[in-house]
Every structure is written in structure tokens, then in C-alpha cells.
Structure 1
Amino acid sequence: MTEIVGFCVAAVVLVGASLAVVLTPNLFHAVLWLAAALVATGGIFLLLDSPFLFAVQLLLYAGGVVTIVVFAIMLTERLVGASIRQTSRFVFSGAVLAAAVFAAIMGFVLQGGAVARPIAGGDQLRELGRALAGPFGVPLQLLGVLLVIALLGALYFARAED
């Protein structure tokens, strides 16, 4: 019973914070809501008895990524107090597409689609390490380099406009 209440609280916080990220006009406040959403996601990992993913979620995403985004906002001084206009002519089509994707995912889940099974008597952390160091080692490193390049490019373009 406690797990269900904890999951419901974490899910409500996650959905509320995610909506606030999208709907908040102030960019800095949106990043703070993103941090709340990432912490709530970590809470769900903890409820799923996955302390490693909980730690990774808090340290890398809620800590690292949010810190980098806050620094990027602070380095582009003109965005600190600015509100961003969120006008688009594709709001209706975006809502229809989001509803269609949600319906497809719910249909798959309700039909009893693929269910993740735990590794039989294995050390999940060791298997994850082998996967990241083995066949996924190079893509993981390239992804890190790509993220650094994207951050530097965003800073360059933000400074070039000043």
C-alpha cells in the first residue's frame, strides 16, 4: 500500500512538473521545474528497487544536466529575466499527434505488450557495465562529445547575437 501511495505522489509531481516545464514562460523557472521532474523520475526508480538508476538520475540528470543548462542561461545574460513567447500555429496538430501517440502506447500496454524481465540471478550493474563498455562503448563516448559540442555551439550562437 505504501508503494502505491509513493508512486501516485511521485507520478503526480512528475506530471505537474513536466507540464510546468512546458507552460512556464520564464526560462529559468522552466529549468527549475525540469529539476523537479527529474527528481520525481528518480523517486520512481527508487520505488522500482533500482537504486543505481536512482543515483544516476539524481547525479547526472538532476545535478549535472540542470547545472549545465543553468550555466548556459546565465552565460547568455539577456535570457535570465526574459519571458519566452510560446506561439505556434501548430498547436492543434501537435495536440492531435500527442493524443495519437498516447493512444498507441496505451493500446500496446493494455494488450500486454513486451514486459521487461529481470536478469536471471544476475548482477544487473555488472551487465550494464559490460554493455556500456562493450558494444555501446563508442556510441556512449560519441554521445558525450556531441553534447559538449552542442553546448559550445549554443553558447557561441548566443554570444554572436549580442
Structure 2
Amino acid sequence: IVFVLIFAMGLSIAGTGGVGAATLSSPANLNNPVTAMARAIPNVGSFLALIVAFTGFSLCYVSTNTGVIGVSRVVFSMGRFRLLPRWFYKVHKTFRTPVRAILIFGIIGAVLAIPGDLPLVANLYNFGALLSYIMVNLSLIVLRNTDRDTYRA
């Protein structure tokens, strides 16, 4: 947490000190201030702007992949315990992955992405992640109070 705080403060100080608040708050740079800061570095700015764009794309790709893999494992497990239809409890013979859950939620993700409504997709993803964290934490509280004999590391 300390490293993230120092990094965020350093980026803010470098941005406002090196580029200036007026440049960062201009309409052209409002949605991509890090790219504007990278572009402002002499001699290598345009190259760094490409690196920033590629890094952003990579992070989005990894985040999406993590979401699809995570939800497929949860749905697979819920199928195993019959909280969802047992149909989801199917493992691919060669790859040993929950193939049906991956296909279903991969298709759902692709259908949501096709129209290009990124704010809708981001809001759905954020809502789902928040809801899952809330459910996990509430489950932990309930289990701590109802199953006191369970081993706790």
C-alpha cells in the first residue's frame, strides 16, 4: 500500500510539475493524462506514448481474461454443488478446464463487447466484482459465527 501511495503521489507531482496543470486539464488530455505526460518527455515522448497505450491494452486484456477464468471456475464449482445446473460441471478431457462455463461466459462477454459500449461493460464488470466481494465477506462473517469449530489459520 505504501508503494502504491508513493507511486501515485510521484506521478501526480511529476505530471503537474513537468507538464503543467493546464496541459493535463485540456480537453484533449482529460481522458489520457499519462499519455500526455509521456508525450511531453523530450526525444522519447512519442515512443513512451505508444508504450503507455500498449500497457493499457495489455492490462485490459489480462483483466478480461481473469474475469472470464474466474467466473468460469465459480460457475463450475456451483454446478458441482448443485447451486446451478449440473450441466456446468463439465471438464474438457484434454485441457482439464470447465469448458461449458468458459464458453457460455466468453460468449456473454463477446456479445456485450460487440456494440462497443465500454462504459456499460465496465459498469457491469465493476458491479459484479463488488457484488462478489460483498458476498464473500458476508459469507465469511456468517461462517465465523455459525461454524466456530472450523480450523482458522
Q: TM-score, normalised by structure 1?
A: 0.28
Higher relative contact order (CA 8 A, sep 6+): 1
Q: TM-score, normalised by structure 2?
A: 0.29
Q: Which is greater in Rg?
A: 2
